[in-house]
Amino acid sequence: MAKETEQKIAKELYINQNKTPEEIAQKTSVNIRTVQRWIKEGNWKKLRDAKANGLPQRIERTQLVVDSMVEERLGILKEIKELQKQKEWDSPPTKEAQAELDFQIAQLRKQAAAIDDAIAKWNKRIENLHKEGKITLSIYIEVMERIFEAMRTSNEPLYMQTLDFQENHLEEVSTKLP
């Protein structure tokens, strides 16, 4: 039977480093079936998925969408400038050529406006995600009390050693949370 240390290493590799069971088995010299059993029995997949879809990750992915739209918009603005220069440099442009350039510029401006609207909506989504992630001091204290009560139940000497930390931490957090 594999050692507890190897299981802890396997858990870290699976949850925090997104390693496959095969990679974990190879790195820890543990049978792959054992690793797969640990994953199933320990509910590691659920933990990894929750961590991968946490608020910071969702905000980061949403920000990547906004960044790509900003890049697209900048490209459109560059195209508009090039078309405007082309209008100025053509000597003298025919009415048909000028009408075509005006049409292309108008289309690009519509695209830019649509992107502006989409960016505003995605930025609102980011703002809402930030709001969603905020917790009140009372909720924070409740969670902290549950954690330390569980610690007290399982290891009272360790709990007693954390009392100063708990007090200092609550004072620090109380200045930051609503």
DSSP 49-71: HHHHTSHHHHHHHHHHHHHHHHH
Q: How far apart are the first and last CA of the chain?
A: 49
Q: What's residue 132's pLDDT?
A: 85
Helix (H) or strand (E) holding 135: none
Q: What's residue 46's pLDDT?
A: 94
**Ranges of each domain in the chain:** 4-52, 63-133, 137-174
Q: What's residue 47's pLDDT?
A: 93
pTM for this structure? 0.62
Q: What's residue 2's pLDDT?
A: 52
Q: What's residue 162's pLDDT?
A: 95
Q: What's residue 41's pLDDT?
A: 95
Residues of the chain under the 50 pLDDT cut: none
Q: What's residue 98's pLDDT?
A: 85
